[in-house]
Amino acid sequence: MDTEKIFSKSVLEKPETKRAARANATLDLKKLIRMGWNENPYGMSPKALAANLEAAKTGNFYQDFWCADMKRAIADSYGISVKNLVVGAGSSPLIEIAGQAFLNPGDEVLMCPTFAAFIDMAEIRLDRVVSVPLREDMGYNLDGLAAAVTEKTKMIVICNPNNPTGGYLSYDEIMAFVEKVPRDVVLLFDEAYIEFATAPDCRSVVPLVFEMPDRPILVMRTFSKYYGMAGVRAGYIIANEEIAAGIGRVPGSWIPSAAQAAVVAALSEPEYYEECKTKIVAGRAYLSREMEKLGCTVYPSQSNFIMFDPHCDCAMVREKLIERGILISAPMFCRVSVSTPENNVLFIRYLGEILKAAKAA
């Protein structure tokens, strides 16, 4: 078979995507305590789970292609129109859809080190993806991004709070940045973790979509994290009607019926999720405190994960934790997701053992 003739140029010529590289790793996920991918350990709310199971009974029929109930429920939760929404099976496919909707060869996309799906989306389409280094304190570098804008800049990605750092940008910082950026540059805000924020100045930029109706501003949210539906798959973009309609022309906005049903039910049970958040925020404080006691540099987090520098080989720390049954990530330094109190305690115990052995070696 002559694969040179079969595959597209992007498959043949572009580097392997970060996600494809991950797919080649073999991990026995059933045996691991999952503290690596920023999932919600408490799962969906009871009504969301029941709705999800119930909808599976009619899985022989296609889903509602228009996602009418789901869109209505999301729109009502913000007091906006369903015309301001583009829905998808999580943020990852929506990131691809946004790439297809806005990017042409020759365009430039600007971002700081962030979630791999953005890097993959831009690299596969463009010759030049501008990655602006984070600030020294690991903050998302808005000044650096503003300085990197050229006439070719088509899109700027801002992840707030950012993954993998967990750090955040205040609403005022973002506003000042938005004012500086040329008006026709697409601003794609990813707020996958914003529900976990507790800092009063860490606020969603959804209002900007409506305050600046002439700007191409997209705010992306997912049900994977706060709503405990990472494997269920649902997410959405909020944008002005014209922009949402344009993005809507890209195919791929499919959401399984069971996911649509779960979203509608989840949005009717905010108390359940507030309780989860309280536990996760307490776990975040516990893990941060204990990792500092172990001598790690801990980066302040407004999300459901924490980045830390163990001051030894991060890949080794990850491997040793996997051997003991806990999955974490090591995208920059190490990154651990907040889990249940029992799992958090176990993680700290194992991390302590691993760091002690590393020091002694």
Q: Taking Cα atoms as reference points, which of 288, 274, 297, 298 lies closest to residue 348?
A: 288
Nearest-approach distance from CB 219 to ligand PLP, in angstroms = 12
Distance CA 209, CA 219 (A): 8
> Between residues 182 and 231, which has the closer beta carbon with respect to ligand PLP?
231
Q: Taking Cα atoms as reference points, which of 109, 102, 190 lies closest to residue 149?
A: 109
Q: Which residues contact 322 (CB under 8 A, 6 or more apart)?
A: 27, 32
> Between residues 40 and 92, which has the closer beta carbon with respect to ligand PLP?
92
Nearest-approach distance from CB 38 to ligand PLP, in angstroms = 5
Residues at the interface with ligand PLP (CB under 6 A): 38, 90-92, 115, 159, 163, 190, 192, 222, 224, 230, 235
DSSP state letter for 329: B
Nearest-approach distance from CB 349 to ligand PLP, in angstroms = 26
> Between residues 205 and 354, which has the closer beta carbon with respect to ligand PLP?
205
Nearest-approach distance from CB 353 to ligand PLP, in angstroms = 28
Which amino acid type is present at position 200?
P
> Between residues 86 and 354, which has the closer beta carbon with respect to ligand PLP?
86
> Between residues 38 and 63, which has the closer beta carbon with respect to ligand PLP?
38
Distance CA 153, CA 107 (A): 6
Distance CA 304, CA 273 (A): 13
Paired tokens of 301: 């987090």
Nearest-approach distance from CB 166 to ligand PLP, in angstroms = 10
Count of H-run helices and E-run strands, the chain: 15, 12
Q: DSSP letters along 282-326, please?
A: HHHHHHHHHHHHTT-EE---SSSEEEEE-SS-HHHHHHHHHHTTE
> Between residues 91 and 339, which has the closer beta carbon with respect to ligand PLP?
91
> Between residues 91 and 253, which has the closer beta carbon with respect to ligand PLP?
91
Nearest-approach distance from CB 1 to ligand PLP, in angstroms = 32
Q: Which residues contact 62 (CB under 8 A, 6 or more apart)?
A: 257
Nearest-approach distance from CB 22 to ligand PLP, in angstroms = 11
Q: Among all chains, which residue has been given the structure tokens 């997912």?
A: 222
Helix %, strand %, coil % of the chain (to 5): 45, 15, 40
Nearest-approach distance from CB 251 to ligand PLP, in angstroms = 17
Residue 323's CB is within 10 A of a number of other CB atoms, namely: 10
> Between residues 235 and 283, which has the closer beta carbon with respect to ligand PLP?
235
